[in-house]
Amino acid sequence: MKRLLNLLLIALFAGVTACNCNKENQSDFDIRNYNDADFDRLGISDKNHLSEASKRALKWGKMSNEWFIEFEVSDLKGDLAYEEGVVRRDPSAVIKVNDKYYVWYTKSTGPTQGFGGDVENEKVFPWDRCDIWYATSKDGITWKEEGLAVGRGPKGAYDDRSVFTVEVMQWDGMYYLSYQTVKSPYTVRVKNQVGLAWSNSPDGPWVKSEKPILSPADNGVWKGEEQDRFSVLKKGDFDSHKVHDPCIIPFNGKFYLYYKGEQMGEEITFGGRQIRHGVAIADKPKGPYVKSPYNPISNSGHEICVWPYNGGIASLITTDGPEKNTIQWSPDGINFSIKSVIKGAPHAIGLNRSADSEKEPTEILRWGLTHEYKSYDYQYIRRFTSRRIVAHKAKGVGLKK
């Protein structure tokens, strides 16, 4: 009887210690799900001593490398080559109309003064006091700047201070530009919204929406009057401060507007800035766009770079957060999982939407546009290419003598 009692006590103690261990260690890992070949592939020979890393590797399963790529960046020619004193940044996707490529982008001139002085009259960011311009090209390398596409609104309008970071969607014979908007004065705490313009020609003229099509959540509360974006009584939703980088994709008979949210009281997480993506869905291109209750749909990222693939949506996540430098895919446009972890990617990618994006998962990333900082004040548009990496070879291996 005493022996039985002892055994019971031991079992109880074991149970308590197991419960005390941290949650991650109590993962759903079950060694019975794996066979000898799984262990051999990963080079794990002692099945009785599995590190957390080995358990994670086993749980990934045999993920293919078809989403794993590397990027290179090069200069453009013609009007989009670097020009002193001019900001050209955040290129849209590239579309092809009548054998010509088109791109839209943010453009302004002159240096940035920042927030230290007279924000009513100075330029606070390189993307302040901007308009949306466009350019065309026969080969995607030499570009001709065609002129202004969408300008700032009149004084008092929601977009009177800056219109910038534009994306393009082609749908049913129409062209739609979605972009960020700021109303003056451009203070640190100013809210950023999303506007839309449409035309039946890529050369315009463009009709602008009277109101923004997307706004930040209004459930955050600033603390105090000082222009400090990190000081809050309540942070509110992930997009309580800014909705940025809009990109509309026709998907499953609806229109999915992907965007980056910035939160009031943004923090630095263990992966960097607390930046996440959301999606708002509409029945028609002009909206109304309703934010998904599943937002945020990423825990990382910066500019939006999404494309349809294999009945779902793929997303390149860069720059910020613990899952930066990953490519993810979702069967429903909302629930994304990691498909590859890459070295990094050029920023503010403008995808080549004329590519056959179904050919392989990353075909749409073979070439496109990006921007680069020449200095804090001036950015310019460049070209990227990417290639799949399937093997790793030392110099000379395989070459005949």
Residues in the site for ligand AAL, rule: CB under 6 A?
90, 127, 164-165, 180, 244-245, 260, 302-303, 348
Least distance between ligand AAL and beta carbon 105 (Å): 11
In the bound state with ligand AAL, the residue whose beta carbon lies nearer, of 55 and 112, is: 112
> CA–CA separation, 383 vs 381, rounded Å?
7
Residue nearest to ligand AAL (CB): 165
Least distance between ligand AAL and beta carbon 29 (Å): 38
In the bound state with ligand AAL, the residue whose beta carbon lies nearer, of 243 and 365, is: 243
Task: Find out whether 338 and 387 touch, Cβ atoms under 8 Å.
Answer: no
> CA–CA separation, 344 vs 73, rounded Å?
12
Least distance between ligand AAL and beta carbon 220 (Å): 18
Least distance between ligand AAL and beta carbon 164 (Å): 6
β-bridge pairing 86-89 and 367-373: unpaired
> CA–CA separation, 242 vs 278, rounded Å?
12
In the bound state with ligand AAL, the residue whose beta carbon lies nearer, of 152 and 302, is: 302
In the bound state with ligand AAL, the residue whose beta carbon lies nearer, of 127 and 329, is: 127
> CA–CA separation, 279 vs 333, rounded Å?
9
Q: How far is CA 336 from CA 228, 263, 323, 326, 353, in A?
A: 33, 21, 12, 11, 21
In the bound state with ligand AAL, the residue whose beta carbon lies nearer, of 90 and 266, is: 90
Least distance between ligand AAL and beta carbon 309 (Å): 23
Least distance between ligand AAL and beta carbon 310 (Å): 27
Task: Find out whether 189 and 266 touch, Cβ atoms under 8 Å.
Answer: no
Task: Find out whether 248 and 286 touch, Cβ atoms under 8 Å.
Answer: no
Least distance between ligand AAL and beta carbon 321 (Å): 13
In the bound state with ligand AAL, the residue whose beta carbon lies nearer, of 90 and 237, is: 90
In the bound state with ligand AAL, the residue whose beta carbon lies nearer, of 271 and 312, is: 271
